[in-house]
Structure 1
Amino acid sequence: MNHLVIAPLLLPLLVGTLLLLSRRTLSLAARRSLNLAAILGQILLAIELLILVGDGTVLTYHLGHWPAPWGIVLVADRLAVWMLLVTSLLAFFALLHAMQGTDTCSRHFHPLFQLQLFGLNGAFLTGDLFNLFVFFEILLLASYGLLVHGGGAARVRAGLHFVVINLVGSTLFLFAAGAFYGLTGTLNLADLSLKIAQLPPEDLGPARVAALLLLAVFALKAALAPLHLWLPSAYASTSAPVAALFAIMTKVGAYSLLRVETLLFGEQAGILAGFYAAWLLPLGLLTLALGALGALAATELRRQIAYLVVVSVGLLLAAFGLGSREGIAAGLYYLVHTTFATAAFFLLADLITRERGRAADRLVPGPALPNAGLLGGLFFVAALLVAGLPPLSGFVGKFLVLRAALAESVWPWMLAVVLVGGLLGIVALARSGSLLFFHIRGAGSGEPTHPPPAKGLPGASLPTIGLLLLCLALLIGSGPVLDLAEATAGQLLDPAGYIQAVLKPVGIQIAPWEAGS
């Protein structure tokens, strides 16, 4: 049992608690420094864990020293640590942007930020279905507070929709967990993997219903069509750093779908093998198509970026739906790319909005931007990344997904949807760039032709540039990253090591059925 596994949970929980208790006594600079230091610590922890699990080792932590499946267990394998590292890097740059003024709207921003990270890290590390529900609820609590941070009618309205829809999802989650517990007598994921494969024929029908309920919950979290309509309003209404952090939120649903697909409904599941894969591919392609149409029809830049997040979710889950090692590896590479690229775009949209005066982020002709060179260059790079054009990491991710699809019988459909969706995204972004940077409203319109430049814009753009540089690093290191992604995919498709590590006895001898023998 490695105590380092629980550190990514303890650090944000303890720091978040300290920030909450001292919110009236610590200065803003001290709160910022503490929050930033905690995130840097989480980055270092994720790197250390990645080194430990890089050879395929699965680390476990049994809370209270209770052995699985009776006790609560945390599990760190390649996939979980992969997500921890992406989350901590994203949070670092999102917080840097928030420190430019967004965090001054209330004393609760910094505690909520750490609480959000606590929920995210817990969702990735938990090895228990019920505790996944618990961490989802922590995410809901923190994300609602962050979503409405700063106030305003649009944020409150979007926040209420967000909460109501997610409460429905939480209810369905409890139904699904209860059904699985009634059928198998366990909620430990490793133990569930063994029990589902041994279900008698008369229990397969209820098991399918429970699996579909769980699919609906994770699809809602991931914004998979037709359960994606909450996302554009929520992401477009909230503040830029929160929207950037929320770029990982849909990946929690995608992570959960991938984990359950490979662990509970993999080849070892017998008649239920491939149950999720049959749904993920068509729904992923539908999500991609609807997201591309939404991006084309959007009249605000932030809403357009939110629809591009939906597009990325569609491509990601379609890749996972292929069910092959190549498809999952391509999806994992694309997951990192799209998280950083869309987050950078949200931060960039905030910089553009600051300089456009009353035109804000509306896709209409506006005043000439004083820093049009810097902003235009960043917009061009971000558009290339999100649209998946060469030579950047977005193109590599799409190419890997399409190459994996060529080995499957559905490749004509996937090729058509991905290429057409990409074309619509290019058209939408080209139109937005033209309206933002080339269609200048004259002085007779009542708006200043040249508004005063935003103070300190080059420094304010550093978090955006940092995220774009991470995409560049992903491109330069495509070889090692893809090797790790393929090793992760192989580990997921052969869950015997995960199951054995989790069900390994802790101080007592377990029965043969618990060891999977």
Structure 2
Amino acid sequence: MSWFADHLPILPVLLPSVTAIVLLLLGDHGGDAHGGHGHHKLLWARRIALASTLLFLVVAARLAVEAAGGDVRAYRVGDWPAPYGIVLVIDRLGALMLLLTAVVALPVLWYATGGWDAHGRHFHAIFQFQLMGLGGAFVTGDLFNLFVFFEVLLIASYVLMLHGQGAERMRVGVHYVVLNLTASALFLIGVALLYAKTGTLNLADLALRVPEVTAPESVVVQAAALLLLVVFGFKAALMPLAMWLPATYVAASAPVAALFAIMTKVGVYAIVRVHGVVFGAGAGDSALTVAPLLLPLALATSVVGVLGALAARTLGRLVAWLTVASVGTVLAALGLFTPQAWSAALYYMANSTLVVAGLFLLAELVAAQRGDVADRLEPASPVAQPTLLGLMMLLAAASAAALPPLPGFIGKLMILEASAAHAWQVTVWVVVLGVGFLTLVGLARAGSVLFWHVRPELPAAGPAGASPKLVGATMALFGATVAMSVFAAPLQRYTDAAAQQLVDRAAYARAVLGSEALDTTKPYRFEPRRGAPAPETPR
């Protein structure tokens, strides 16, 4: 048991990768699942994938409980000392993101086993590779390995995006791939510039070395920071880099779009880690490089997102634009650059991710019960489950619009309180409250069309989409948001502690680099362990 506990931090990467390999060897013949042999393999693939994802949730919960104590846990792969070797780091923020990923992934995968996984080959293997990339991105302690895990999750997302095929998915998928490849190239350039001036890519090491880079060399480091903002902003859907998201998410299948709700948070997470910590308030000449840009761009993202939602003519596109609006709100809180605001961002991010994922699944349930009209916002025949689906829609709308006592209200209230005395306080209040009101208007309009303005003279579409498995998976995501309200106080204490831990660079460096590598009484110089090669001094 002690051995298992010692290697727990690598399981969020190792578990889904091994599961994916097993599923590939099994030969998940989803595309011909109607055949006897193919159906048998698909059933086993479902069981293995669900069991693995459930274990992923257990591991994430265990890591979150351990991280709540405040210790930063570093796992040195191959026992190579940082910053030379690969290091995985579990702190409160990383553990929170792992747990959020698992809470979204399990019901989404359960929903997909209702039939979507049979629309193409190897759905479950690719789903596990996606989890591997997400898990790796949230636990890596190295900027280059963050790039590697970005590529793993993106390659998996390319395949999931096209799962089930179709001309529209192929058209949108080409744009999605090309744009992400461009962002990846910019990522490498930014990483190269940072390495050229600091001689390291370990995040803990970077946080100590970046302040030592002074003018005129600091201009190169600041250029790297701006390039990385472009990359992470694209992943997070920050305006003006967010226009790809609505079409991509609408074209994807419902469970894939729901899983993609966590993908934008990878970009948010990277902005916190890199721009909030490495280029944070203690970064010397490069301190707060992106601060003049992040807050106004984030507020613009919220406004454009909610306007897109109001203009949407289908429920799926409305939810996709609300994804953009919610990301803008989270990034606006991060753009305040205070621990209190970061805590609010983390709390609101968890709620908005669950709500958006649930709404993508709900949109397909509604579409399946409305026949040819699908999820278009126009009168049609009544749905087969008007009370159940209507109540889920009402719950989602109330949380997305930040009505009390749901967690969306708590998160936005935390953001408003954190903006007090900030130069942009009035603008933040106007945008956050205005976006919440317009979100409520958009979802109320959609709900009234879908559930009230019906045409009973039209034949009912039947009980398609009324499967207990599909409905149960959707309800699980909305139930998680209710649980956030019930446990609001401990969750807020956790996010407060996570934000405070982020600004404690010394504790993070001691955990990752070792106490012998850090002397806080003089400018930082890495002292290699006995037998380890000394790094070159950056010019």
Q: TM-score, normalised by structure 1?
A: 0.96
Q: Deviations over 1:5-38 (max 9, x none)?
A: 1111110000011101112586212111110111
The alignment yields a C-alpha RMSD, in angstroms, of 1.7
Any conservation in 2 of the 1:359–1:366 contact (CA below 8 Å)?
yes
- SS of aligned partner of 2:88: strand
Task: Tell me what 1:8 maps to.
Answer: 12
The runs of 5 or more residues in structure 1 that have no matched partner are: none
Question: Which of 124, 127, 136 matches 1:113?
Answer: 127
How far did 1:262 drift? 2.8
Report if the CA contact (8 A) 1:277-1:320 is conserved: no
User: Given that residues 9 and 118 in structure 1 are in contact (C-alpha distance below 8 angstroms), is that contact kept between their aligned partners in structure 2?
Assistant: yes
- Measured after TM superposition, the shift of residue 205 of structure 1 is 1.1
Partner AA of 2:236 in structure 1: A
- Cα deviation for residue 429 of structure 1 reads 1.1
- Distance apart, 1:352 and its partner CA: 0.2
1:33 aligns with 2:37: no
1:22 aligns to 2:26 (yes or no): yes
1:182 aligns with 2:192: no
2: distance between equivalents of 1:46 and 1:459? 24
Once the 2 structures are TM-superposed, how far is the Cα of residue 460 of structure 1 from its aligned partner?
Answer: 2.5
Distance across 1 between alignment mates of 2:167 and 2:466: 29
Shift of residue 107, structure 1, vs aligned partner: 2.7
Bigger Cα displacement from structure 2, 434-443 vs 232-241: 434-443
In the alignment of these two chains, the number of paired residues is 510
Aligned to 1:384: 398
Aligned-partner Cα distance in 1 for 2:303–2:407: 21
Q: 1:515 to 1:325 in 2, by over 3 A?
A: farther
Distance 1:154 1:68 in 2: 46
TM superposition shift of 1:273: 1.8
Say which of 318, 321, 326 aligns to 2:332: 318
Matched, 1:464 2:474: yes
Unaligned runs of 5+ in 2: 29-37, 529-539
Please state if 1:454 is matched with 2:454.
no
Q: Distance in 2 between matches of 1:277 and 1:449?
A: 56
Deviation at 1:456, TM superposition (A): 4.3
In structure 1, the partner of 2:491 is: 481
Match of 1:65 in 2: 79
Query: How much has 1:452 moved relative to structure 2?
Result: 1.9
Partner of 1:499: 509
Q: Is the 8 A contact 2:211 2:282 kept in 1?
A: yes
User: Percent identical across equivalent pairs?
Assistant: 46
Indicate conservation of the 8 Å contact 2:261/2:353, yes or no.
yes
Tell me the CA shift for residue 510 of structure 1.
8.8
Per-residue deviation, residues 238-272 of structure 1 (Å, max 9, x unmatched)? 11111111110000000000011232112321222
1:159 to partner: Cα distance: 1.1
- Partner residue of 1:292 out of 306, 317, 331: 306
Which residue of structure 2 aligns with residue 267 of structure 1? 281
Find the counterpart in structure 2 of residue 141 from structure 1. 155
Sort the Cα spacing of 1:347 and 1:515 in 2 relative to 1 into closer, same or farther, 3 A. Answer: farther
Report the alpha carbon displacement of residue 449 of structure 1 after superposing the two structures with TM. 3.4
Matched, 1:204 2:208: no
Paired with 1:254 and 1:467, the residues of 2 have a C-alpha distance of 21
Q: Does 1:370 align with 2:384?
A: yes
- Farther off after superposition, 262-271 or 30-39: 262-271
Q: What letter is aligned with 2:20?
A: G
Aligned counterparts of 2:126 and 2:375: Cα–Cα separation in 1: 27
- C-alpha distance 2-199 of structure 1, shift in aligned 2 (>3 A): farther
Compute the displacement of 1:455 (Å). 6.5
Deviation at 1:279, TM superposition (A): 2.2
**For 2:525, which of 494, 507, 513 is the aligned residue?**
513
Query: Using the alignment, how far apart are the partners of 2:65 and 2:390 within structure 1?
Result: 39
CA contact (8 A) 1:240 1:347 kept: yes
**2:225 is matched by which residue type in structure 1?**
A
**Aligned mates of 1:515, 1:491 — CA distance in 2:** 25
Contact 2:368 2:465 in 1 (8 A): no
Structure 2 equivalent of residue 258 of structure 1? 272
Relative distance call for 1:515 and 1:422 in structure 2 (3 A) is farther
Displacement, 1:412? 0.2
Q: Distance in 2 between matches of 1:198 and 1:100?
A: 55
Deviations 1:404-434 (A, max 9, x none): 1123221100011112212221211111111
Paired with 2:209 and 2:19, the residues of 1 have a C-alpha distance of 39
On the 8 A contact 2:107/2:476 being kept in 1, the answer is: yes
Q: Give the one of 169, 177, 182 matched to 1:163.
A: 177
Whole-angstrom CA distance in 2 between matches of 1:277 and 1:355? 47
2:168 is the counterpart of 1:154: yes
Question: 1:140 deviation in Å?
Answer: 1.0
Residue 75 of structure 1 aligns to a residue in which SS? strand
Q: Deviations over 1:342-395 (max 9, x none)?
A: 101111111001001000111111112221111111111111111212221111
What CA distance in whole angstroms lies between the structure 2 residues aligned with 1:355 and 1:263?
48
1:431 and 1:494 map into 2 onto residues whose CA distance is: 46
Are 2:418 and 1:404 aligned?
Answer: yes
Q: Residue 485 of structure 1 aligns to which amino acid in structure 2? A: T
- Cα distance in 2 for partners of 1:166, 1:137 equals 9
Contact 2:369 2:465 (8 Å CA) reproduced? no
Q: Which residue of 2 aligns with 1:246?
A: 260
Match of 2:104 in 1: 90
